[in-house]
Amino acid sequence: MAYPGQRAYFYALGQFIHAYAKAEAFVHFSFAVFSQIEQNMAMAIKGGMRISDLMPLIRRIIALRKFAPAEQKEVDSIFTQLNLISEFRDRVVHRGADPQPGNIFFSSNMATMKSVELAETYTFTLKDIRNATSDLQRIVLRVVCACHRIDAKIFFGKKKRQMFAPWRYKPLQPDNPHPQHPSNAARLKRQLRASQRTL
């Protein structure tokens, strides 16, 4: 049974995961276009490569193909933001999150950490998830434009300013920058007990 705050979280998380999968797929599709090789050859080269490995490869390819500096800067902006969102996605998907007072969600590596000193804890809001989803939707369109080297003014028209606005998702900062401190260890234990009560 979901708590009231969790219902909105599950809905936003589902939209986020869907948008991430689409962005991931379009990065894979773009590889053949960026590298100017047939799709069958592209699939043979990259196979099931993770995008964290594929993005550096694409960066090297467009440098060798002498993309204009502005074009390389655009690809770098897209991939840098996608990498930050990937880190957020990995934390939430693999660690889950628990609701806290004030519509805040708490996520940690408590289940898998080897010691309290290695703990990582983060808090985020629905706005963080929605911002990441919005960026992913823009990333898909900007990847298409970048790999086909299409003029953004033609591709986006009146929506160009919206598409190239500053990224909305900002990387989460850990709640415990010094987890080895005794007071932080006690706090982590309290949060773990609170998390276990929601199970």
pLDDT in tens, 4-23: 667 889 999 999 999 999 99
User: For residue 161, how many other CB atoms are within 10 A of its CB?
Assistant: 8
Closest CA to 135 of 52, 9, 23, 24: 23
Output the pLDDT for position 138: 97
Report whether 45 contacts 34 (CB < 8 A): no
Instruction: For residue 60, name the pLDDT band (cuts at 50, 70, 90).
Output: very high
Confidence (pLDDT) at 29: 94
For 180, phi then psi, to 5°, come to: -75, -10
Instruction: State the pTM of this model.
Output: 0.84
pLDDT one-digit tens code per residue, 74-113: 999 999 999 999 999 999 999 888 888 888 898 988 777 7
Measured in degrees and rounded to the nearest 5, phi and psi for residue 109 equal -100, 25
pLDDT of res. 21: 97
Which residue in 126, 67, 72 sits closest to 102, CA to CA? 126
First to last CA, the chain: 10
